[in-house]
Chains A and B, each alone.
Chain A
Amino acid sequence: MTIEFDSVEVGDELPEHVSPEITRHVLALFCGSSGDHNPMHVDIDFAKSSGMSDVFAHGMLSMAYLAQLLTHWVPQSQLREWNVRFLAITPVHVRVKCTGKIIEKFTSDGENLVRLDINAHTDAGSHTLAGEAVIALN
């Protein structure tokens, strides 16, 4: 289904996207596939030596789930810019719930655009990522 500019309104919410459980196996796969070999995310000995009680998920893993929230709504070619702040670490064994809401409709350089408020929470209730995305709609 194509999302059209005239058919959306400020306040509309995107279909929620929920990640699979972030197991240690997921972190190992993301370590290799993302190129982020920081041992903090896969080596509990290293994490403890750095003052953490356990490994925790890569922030960019949660941002990848937020990207899926957006690209499952519209094709990636319509994504113009986006940003997130990482608010809290994401521990192992949670799922990441990604949400988005239209907060502005505007036109720039002849393009119809919507601005989204985007957020990630763990299913344990922690608010982990907050940001905005600008998407072009026909």
Chain B
Amino acid sequence: MLDKSLIGHEFEPVTVEVEKGQLKFFAKATGETNAVYFDEDTARAAGHPSLPAPPTFAFSLSLLSPEPFSTLTLFNVDIGRVLHGEQRFSYSGQIYAEDRITLKQRIRDVYDKKGGALEFIVQETEATNQHAEVVGLSTTVTVVRNG
């Protein structure tokens, strides 16, 4: 069983640079056709200072940090046993290429279903840019298969 005493655990904040090449690579991998996400001239013509990070990219930033699976390490869970259960994003700003984004992550809840056959870790990540503006909040529910 997962250690419920870890509810409320806060990780050390990590700061990640948003790399332009990574955003272009992400656009290519996802078959993106809207040039605002991979062509800087198009992005500027649309009023952006640089390439915007697409709506799910904040999730990737935490994975591109030096300790991408820190939650699994914290709970001592094998990566082969986990599934992504739910994902939520809310936005109060825009992340751009070359921003430096600080991610503050905490464990909000841990619960189980089906007599413990499935366990759930709810994690919140707040993203703040180099201007100290909170740009978004993401919530991830990870499912651990015990069967």
Query: What is the interface of chain A, defined by CB distance below 8 A to chain B?
Result: 19-20, 26, 29-30, 32-40, 46, 49-51, 58-61, 63-65, 67-68, 70-72, 75-77, 79-86, 89
Contacts and interface: CB of A to CB of B under 8 A. Distances in A.
B4 interface: no
Contacts of A51: 80
Given A68-B32, A85-B86, A49 B80 contact: yes
B86 A84 contact: yes
A33 B85 contact: no
A5 to B, nearest CB: 19
25 contacts: A26-B31, A29-B25, A32-B25, A33-B26, A34-B63, A35-B61, A37-B63, A38-B69, A58-B84, A60-B59, A60-B60, A60-B84, A61-B29, A63-B87, A65-B30, A68-B30, A71-B55, A72-B33, A76-B52, A76-B54, A81-B88, A83-B86, A83-B88, A84-B88, A85-B85
Interface stretch (B6-14, B89-97, B98-106, B126-134): B89-97
A32 B59 CA distance: 14
B86 A64 contact: no
A76 B88 contact: no
A51 B86 CA distance: 22
B49 interface: no
B34 interface: yes
A30, A39, A58 interface centre (most CB from chain B within 10 Å): A30
Contacts of A50: 80-81
Contacts of B25: 29, 32-33
